[in-house]
Structure 1
């Protein structure tokens, strides 16, 4: 497929997991791709990989300007960068609440804000935000993380409404539990990693974790110019986790 031919895409958190899979997939479909990551060393070959901390407004502004200067514009933004948290509502202190919300929500706003003037100049402007199944269904020991992803859901809808007249489509993808480095670290820290892995698999009706490639395909589907009438949509890639009870 070459539906992104001639377009420039920026993927935050694009040096590992879902972000790296998305950057590679968009590149395969013809996009010129830039990756922003605190450690860009793992970014796919062929992309413009830039070190950037999305909690730093100045760094974000400079990175987005560099992408536009070096790749000739900006058409697609994938707000994928994020961090996790475990615990109930009392399980994280104020500093951790501030840190997770700063990365997962405000960081998304910083990147979108910096990209906005360039997206307005594009004929195929699209933003895809990384939401989660936990924005729709309660999961134990994920209070802070769920709060951040619920905010991403609301932010996506607000952005879609605000920028429809600008010709900028804004959507989100909400994965279930995915086979990513963060989930791998959670399992490694469990008392019984295999039992914990089996519990995660059982939580999804398809009986396995979502793959990074599957999420990347969903992101590209929403960002593609072929999806020109899709905005304000959240695509669930969760193996039926939020809608099915078997």
Structure 2
């Protein structure tokens, strides 16, 4: 998968899966726009850009809140200003707030939907006119196995990721004639910094890790690089006949 001369914008790109996606795109030749909801002085964002440049690639850090309509539009515009176009948008930014229906507050539900769903909606909405003008493009949205099966204590998160899948298919149907493809990658439990922190801060870290691993048919958690490879495939020319599709990378969790 060669992405030379391609420009990719990745939201939530300073840690975990987003960071892995950014670095893998850079290694594959793409120019990378790194986004996170931090200031332009954010060390994590600047660090990713520095790593990409050390690899011989080109990258810029564009901070902004994808859940804010004006901020989302600004992120797209600044990305265009930096490289002249955006060929690929990866909507990776997201939050996971635990809770069942009774324990989840309205504020927590709204925050989850704002970032996970409205963020995907806003970023896609503002990149689409540019993609249409340049003759096509690809959007890859980050779903989750939580969109495909019920998860205990994740009511708002499941609802938001189910919405992302449905929204992605609607966008794919609306813009297929504009040569714009839209696909969803649904990871299972992946060994991200958030999972590491959850294990480390548990009352019994070893038991917590065993619980995570115990529900995986493959007997291990996913690696961020494995999710990143799926994203790159969904965005690649090799997947040119794929749109409105769901790629599940979950170690067999939903089989």
Q: Is the 8 A contact 2:136 2:178 kept in 1?
A: no
Q: Is the 8 A contact 1:187 1:193 kept in 2?
A: yes
- Measured after TM superposition, the shift of residue 128 of structure 1 is 0.4
Unaligned runs of 5+ in 2: 54-58
Answer yes or no: is 1:105 the counterpart of 2:117: yes
2:169 maps to 157
CA distance in 2, matches of 1:131, 1:122: 27
TM-score by structure 1 length? 0.94
Q: Is the 8 A contact 1:15 1:41 kept in 2?
A: no
Matched position secondary structure for 1:37? coil
Matched position secondary structure for 2:104? coil
Cα RMSD (Å): 1.3
Aligned residue among 32, 43, 46 for 1:41:
43
Matched position secondary structure for 2:35? strand
Q: Is the 8 A contact 1:84 1:182 kept in 2?
A: no
CA distance in 1, matches of 2:236, 2:209: 34
- Measured after TM superposition, the shift of residue 191 of structure 1 is 2.5
CA distance in 2, matches of 1:61, 1:231: 24
TM-score by structure 2 length? 0.91
- Measured after TM superposition, the shift of residue 120 of structure 1 is 1.3
2:192 maps to 180
- Measured after TM superposition, the shift of residue 132 of structure 1 is 0.3
1:116 maps to 128
CA distance in 2, matches of 1:6, 1:213: 22
Aligned residues, how many?
A: 242
1:207 maps to 219
Unaligned runs of 5+ in 1: none
Show CA shifts across 1:20-67 (max 9, x none). 100110111111110110135324223211111112211111121111
CA distance in 2, matches of 1:124, 1:229: 14
2:29 maps to 30
Aligned residue among 53, 70, 91 for 2:65:
53
Instruction: State the 4+ residue runs in structure 1 displaced beyond 3 angstroms.
Output: none
